[in-house]
Amino acid sequence: MWDDSYTGEQITLTAFESHTDVVLSHLHGLLTLQKIDAEPQSYDARRRLLFFVNSLFMDMPLAPLLEEMKSWSVMTPFYAEDVLYSRKDLESKQDGLDVHTLLFLQTLYKRDWENFLERVKPKKNIWKDPESAIELRMWASLRGQTLSRTVQGMMYGEAAIRLLAEIEQVPQQKLEELINTKFTYVVACQIYGRQKKNNDPKASDIEFLLHRFPNLRVAYIDEVRVNYQKEQSYFSVLIKGGEEIGSVHEIYRVRLPGNPILGEGKPENQNAAIVFTRGENLQTIDMNQDGYLEEGLKMRNLLEEFDKGTADRPYTIVGIPEHIFTGSVSSLANYMALQETSFVTLSQRTLARPLRMRLHYGHPDVFNKLFFITRGGISKASKGINLSEDIFAGYNNCMRGGSVAFPEYTKCGKGRDVGMQQIYKFEAKLAQGAAEQSLSRDVYRISQRLDFFKLLSFYYNHVGFYLSTSIIIWTVYILLYCNLLRSLLSLEGVGGREPVLLSHLQLMLGSVAFLTTAPLLATISVERGFKAAMNEILVLFVTGGPLYFLFHIGTKWFYFGQTILAGGAKYRATGRGFVTKHSAFDELYRFYASSHLYAAAEIAIGLTLYYMFTIGDQYFAMTWSLWLVFASWYWSPFWFNPLSFEWSDVMEDFRVWFKWMRGDGGNPNQSWEAWFKEENAYFSTLRPWSKACVTVKGGLFALIAFSISSTGSEHHSILTESTWLPLAICCSMAAVYLSAEAVFFTSSRAHGENGLVRFLKLLLVLVLGSGLVVAFVYVDGMWQCLLSMGYLAAAVGCWALVLFGSNSRFVGTLYFVHDAVLGMVTLSLILLLAALYVPGKIQTWLLYNNALSRGVVIEDILRANSSNDDRDDDLSVQQMRSIILEQQRFINVLTASGSETDIRAAGPGKKDDLMHAMSDNTLNAVLRNMSESELSALQDSSSRLQAIMSEEERKVAQRKQQQEEQRLAEAGINPSLSRTRRAFSTSDFSAIPANASPFNLPTQNGSAASGNRTSAANGPHAAV
């Protein structure tokens, strides 16, 4: 029954509780909140909540009490990556897109930026307030791949323990002791001591993190000079933050017998810091990862997985799935995210169960620390052979009797490479690491001990994956040259039969790129539904995904084979920036020539010859997959390069390319000669059997050369009367050129060329060119002979490179001609696409989302400003004022002709501003290519910005006036008395200079242009 007296008594007691107001306020908010307002607007927030709720229904061990839970430590190796983005980093422009890094982040994370403004509430210039400035730097750093993001995410483990301790009502005096017992986080900052001595800002940023997270620890290697002979002593040091920012306290200092960095840097760094970790388990986290509070709440459940193993096969590694958070930056980042999503879910799930062959593939797995430190540790660091250091911990674990669990009820964030060159270096590192693994004793021993079925699983999911990829590319070459030689030697359709085997092989090769998307389709279908999966796959194909995956099949093939033949595996720092800049053509050529462009040109020439000589009618059916490989290898570096088809950038690429090709000596970035010698230096170190493998390809070129020269003969003989004359002409011309090069021009390169040498070179080229023209007119079979000579030169170049190395002048001359022709043809095709204009716009639209295009950046600023909340008026107006002033300067330069007459006619101040602005290379480049329609678009955007700015300032002034009148009325003062004084206040005037008004801008013919032109604000140059 209802007891009124008891109820009244309880209500009275509750009303006097200290937290009653807070509880009632929260309850009122929950009861009155609309459903649409309760759902988070952020996609990441919804994703995390959805995964967390779903994971609660998964099979997971019961959570013990905090006092009974297993303890664990987290360790992050760090070298010299970004810790916190500085003001300079945030205000610098991303090359190629003319977008400030901060503006880029604001556009990419618009809702997060609005939430940040609401939380911080800055009332003035955000950089002048130290607290707001550091919060802004943290906000930006938490959206990049920085150490601060990793530290913040991992320290959520401590926050989770605090929250659980409050729920379990752990006494406050025991809380800190409990946290220190159960959780430790150590960042292995290898060169912090050196950075501290050099006053590196990264050292100050590390100290800021130590102050922000009191329980964070930093381990580093300290180098101390002990005598005048510059002998060094090495110490492994552990520090923690002090009470004041910038102060640190040393906890431990362990003297080392010598320099600990003898092998690979990253595993050596981990080995030096592991002594400072505590607890029964150790989680290794890379510095571009992230953690979440809700996942930290499930860590004690996860640690119970170690008790699920058996006595003979205990669980010694617990794997954790990853979410790739960099997929929204570009199409390339999305491809990488989808590729990793497939691997860290479907592939690893299958490897763990039922195959039982999942090993350790890197962070963020959790180790049984006691098991590993008594069996060789978690990191092997031998130079070269342990390039992929993480996998060797898995090999060691498998041979020592350990097992791996892979629960999927928790997840960790992970950043991946987002640029083409970053991904290229990452794939190259993995391929070289796999090649070194195949030569290691660990792989030999584990292969000797596995049964047949586990050996199949081990082969395909580890070293065998790269070997199978190489076999695919070798099949491409076999198919190409078999078809070509059949057509050259008239062996097609032997006995009236069609080459059915080769047709089926074509279908298999062409299906490789498409079948690789099948696991991805299945994974996304399970997680997000079949419709979302089909939409993702459709976008993948439209934006060039198959080209991307085929391209990196070639990357794996090249570096795996090169490392097997010559060694040379090394760590490749990829960088973890946003990569929105345009890479010059010469830089792309240096990256991809040896691995992709040479092979693509070889495939294209072979397919063209096959078309010329084949007598069959199934050319496309026989070659379509090979043309797909060519398109991927040849065009992917330029298609996935931002602004590859912008006219001004292409013209600059031409200039830099010619300068690089003519360069003499220096480093590889300055001259072709230095690059060629460094790129092919490994040929001189090849072992005999490796040289024999390379010379086989030269023999194939020679066979094709002789086959081409003899195709006109009934008996396919090079000695027939119809072929010896063209061959003699080509050989004699080549001999004349090489003799002149060796006798007259070699010495001139060392002492510089004079006018006579240049004249003789020109004369030689004219004579030889004229001779070729006459030969083509009067001698039959010249083109055939030239093709034969080209393949023969390729064979000679291949053999000479193996025999004499890359320092030979003869070898350098042959390859210089090859690279000059290949580079000019490629640049000419890119120039043609740039002239068509449309391909460049399509490329930019497909490569980046709309937030990165200049027009949409302006539109986003307009929309964000027009919907600004009143509480952020001061900051919004100040930001908009700076944007408008910068754009007015931009417009003044663009609308001025830049001639000397205009500069003289300008006033002194105007003249200085104009000359200063005209010195900006970016503005000059835009000025040369700005059309009238683009100028109108820019002018229209500026006008709209100024109109919104004026309206915002009017609102702010009106609101301030109302507040002032209210304050005076409360004080008993007549507001009309102060209104007279406010009329002379400078704060009521517009901040836009009168001479910077965009409403009447001169056109290109000098007449006044109306400010009411209508044009799209997202034109190619309508940027802030």
| pLDDT (tens digit per residue) in 726-746 | 667 667 767 776 666 655 555
- pLDDT at residue 554 in the model: 93
- pLDDT at residue 997 in the model: 35
Whether the per-residue pLDDT at 104 is higher than 90: the answer is: no
User: Quick one: pLDDT band at residue 898, thresholds 50, 70, 90?
Assistant: very low
- pLDDT at residue 582 in the model: 80
**Single-letter residue type at 378:** I
Q: What is the mean pLDDT of residues 763-772?
A: 75
Whether the per-residue pLDDT at 490 is higher than 70: the answer is: yes
Q: Between these two residues, 766 and 132, which has the higher pLDDT value?
A: 132
Q: What would the pLDDT profile of 309-358 be if each residue is shown by its tens digit?
A: 888 889 999 999 999 888 877 788 888 888 888 777 778 888 888 888 99
- Residue-wise DSSP of 955-968: HHHHHHHHHHHHHH
Q: What would the pLDDT profile of 441-450 be if each residue is shown by its tens digit?
A: 999 999 999 9
Residue 314 CB partners (closer than 8 Å, separation 6+): 306, 368, 371, 401, 402, 403
Whether the CB-CB separation of 413 and 292 falls below 8 Å is answered with yes
Percentage above 70 pLDDT, the chain: 73
* C-alpha pair distances (Å), 741 with each of 415, 809, 814: 53, 10, 12
Place of tokens 């000025």: 927
CB atoms within 10 A of CB 196: 18
Q: What would the pLDDT profile of 14-53 be if each residue is shown by its tens digit?
A: 888 878 888 888 888 888 887 777 788 888 888 899 999 9
Q: Between these two residues, 242 and 890, which has the higher pLDDT value?
A: 242
Whether the CB-CB separation of 212 and 253 falls below 8 Å is answered with no
- Which of 94-98, 148-152, 912-916 shows the lowest per-residue confidence on average (mean pLDDT)? 912-916
Helix axes 147-154, 130-141, angle to 10 degrees: 90
> Quick one: which of 382, 381, 315, 323 has its CA closest to 353?
315
DSSP label at residue 683 = G
Q: What is the mean pLDDT of residues 523-545?
A: 84
* C-alpha pair distances (Å), 891 with each of 865, 942, 945, 1003: 21, 8, 13, 12
- pLDDT at residue 75 in the model: 96
- Which of 94-103, 533-542, 586-595, 863-872 shows the lowest per-residue confidence on average (mean pLDDT)? 863-872
Q: Between these two residues, 959 and 924, which has the higher pLDDT value?
A: 959
Whether the per-residue pLDDT at 864 is higher than 70: the answer is: no
- pLDDT at residue 555 in the model: 94
- For residues 48 and 413, what is the distance between their CA atoms, to the nearest angstrom? 11
Whether the per-residue pLDDT at 269 is higher than 70: the answer is: yes
Whether the CB-CB separation of 641 and 588 falls below 8 Å is answered with yes
Enumerate domains of the chain plus CATH numbers.
55-85+144-418 (3.90.550.10), 465-570+581-639 (no CATH), 683-746+754-805 (no CATH), 853-1009 (no CATH)
Q: What is the mean pLDDT of residues 509-532?
A: 74
- Which of 139-148, 533-542, 768-777, 964-973 shows the lowest per-residue confidence on average (mean pLDDT)? 964-973
- pLDDT at residue 687 in the model: 86
User: Quick one: pLDDT band at residue 411, thresholds 50, 70, 90?
Assistant: very high
Q: What would the pLDDT profile of 656-701 be if each residue is shown by its tens digit?
A: 998 898 887 678 888 999 999 989 988 888 888 888 888 999 999 9
Whether the CB-CB separation of 307 and 63 falls below 8 Å is answered with no
- pLDDT at residue 42 in the model: 82
φ, ψ of residue 898 in degrees (nearest 5):
85, 5
The pLDDT mean for the chain works out to 78
* C-alpha pair distances (Å), 968 with each of 5, 49, 111, 578, 700: 52, 50, 38, 52, 95
Whether the per-residue pLDDT at 1010 is higher than 80: the answer is: no
User: Quick one: pLDDT band at residue 108, thresholds 50, 70, 90?
Assistant: confident
Tell me the three state secondary structure of residue 214: coil
- For residues 120 and 137, what is the distance between their CA atoms, to the nearest angstrom? 12
- pLDDT at residue 90 in the model: 86
* C-alpha pair distances (Å), 978 with each of 608, 961, 962, 973, 983: 86, 10, 12, 9, 9
**Single-letter residue type at 229:** Q
Q: What is the mean pLDDT of residues 535-555?
A: 87
* C-alpha pair distances (Å), 209 with each of 84, 113, 126, 368: 9, 22, 21, 28
- For residues 518 and 516, what is the distance between their CA atoms, to the nearest angstrom? 6
- pLDDT at residue 160 in the model: 95
Whether the CB-CB separation of 207 and 179 falls below 8 Å is answered with no
- Which of 24-33, 534-543, 955-964 shows the lowest per-residue confidence on average (mean pLDDT)? 955-964
User: Quick one: pLDDT band at residue 6, thresholds 50, 70, 90?
Assistant: confident
User: Quick one: pLDDT band at residue 238, thresholds 50, 70, 90?
Assistant: very high
Whether the CB-CB separation of 294 and 87 falls below 8 Å is answered with no
φ, ψ of residue 713 in degrees (nearest 5):
-95, 145
- For residues 568 and 432, what is the distance between their CA atoms, to the nearest angstrom? 8
- pLDDT at residue 861 in the model: 38
- pLDDT at residue 577 in the model: 64
